[in-house]
Structure 1
Amino acid sequence: MVFRAPQNSNSDEAVLVVQPNRSLTWNQSKWLFLLLALCIGLVGLYFFSLGAWLVLPFTGLEICIIGIAIYCHSFCAHSQEIIHIDDTYVRVSDNRNRQAVKCFHKAWLTIVQNHDPKGWYPSRLLIGSHGEYIEVGKNLLEDEREMLANNLRNAIEGF
């Protein structure tokens, strides 16, 4: 999902925020984990009441694995790339790694969209200059990646 950040009238900077579609919020993820843990725990307790006590360690292991999976999914779903476009520079930053900000001169910037000739793999949207390119919009769908490329071109040509 790509959207423009709101700008004040005094700013000559365009900001594009690129983030994947989020299926769940963090609170919904926690409720999902609690629901699954409760169901798994009740099944484990049922088998424990029948005398199968060896089920309990595996029940705990299963709850831990599901918790780790839900946490990793939520962590990846809340990533975003922020693209600042001003009069002379284009800066790309990631919200996870604030020190890794790539800055390109706008006059030399090229936008390359690589498509797989057989259509098996998703396209890659690369921006950069002088042989140094970075990929933006990795987590987007094809239509959203096309829209991001058009928004980038329009924002760069608009200044």
Structure 2
Amino acid sequence: MLLDLTLTPNRSLDRRHAGWLVGAVGALFFIGGLRFLALGAWPILPFMAADLALLWWAFRASNAAGRGHERVVLDADALTLHRVSAQGAIRRFGFEPLWTRVQVEETPLGDAHVFLAARGRRVRVGSFLSAPERREVGATIAAALANYRTGSPSTSSIV
């Protein structure tokens, strides 16, 4: 196998630490809620509870989205992109390595998008990564394809 890259989304907090953060915010809201209750401003308490529930939901959704990933594999006869969604659905995109090009498109705002392109078909790679990470992944795939092409037999010598 000439290249085997697994690309995963970045997550700032794992599940355990997100639980600690939501618990700490809940404790602060509880203390603040007692103060509002003592002042007679009890209608604020449901909004604080809704804020805490939305924070918990956001971390849970972020953690669930982090289960998706992509895997780029270059072996002797194919370049394959395996895209696994957060729900576990797998899509495979196969490319002929001799014809495949890596296209890195820069945007005016400094972002970069990486595509694998071959024979009129383009597939985006690493859309969940940051722009510098996408540039690095594009360069890595391009270098592996260049290495593959120099090692493969040439058809120009066939008589």
Superposition TM-score, scaled by structure 1 size:
0.79
4+ residue runs of structure 1 moved beyond 6 angstroms? none
Aligned to 2:133: 144
Question: Which of the numbers 43, 51, 65 marks the counterpart of 2:54?
Answer: 65
Structure with bigger gyration radius: 2
Any unmatched runs of 5+ in structure 1? 1-11
Aligned Cα root-mean-square deviation (Å): 2.1
Aligned position for 1:41: 30
- Residue 44 of structure 2: which of 47, 51, 55 is its match? 55
AA matched with 1:142: A
Number of residue-to-residue matches in the alignment: 146
SS of match in other structure, 2:90: coil
Deviations 1:11-48 (A, max 9, x none): x3521012243322221111111111221122123212
Q: Secondary structure at the match of 2:36?
A: helix
**1:101 aligns to what SS in structure 2?**
strand
2:95 counterpart letter in structure 1: F
AA at the equivalent of 2:69: Q
Q: 1:109 to 1:42 in 2, by over 3 A?
A: same
What code does the residue aligned with 1:72 have?
A
Gaps in structure 2 of 5+ consecutive residues: 149-159
Matched-pair contact (CA < 8 Å) for 1:83–1:91 = yes
2: CA distance between counterparts of 1:69 and 1:95?
Answer: 21
Paired position in structure 2 for 1:7: none
Paired residue secondary structure (2:13) = coil
**Structure 2 length as normaliser, TM-score?**
0.79
Aligned pair partner of 1:88 in 77, 81, 89: 77
Q: Percent identity?
A: 21
Which range moves more in the overlay, 23-32 or 73-82? 73-82
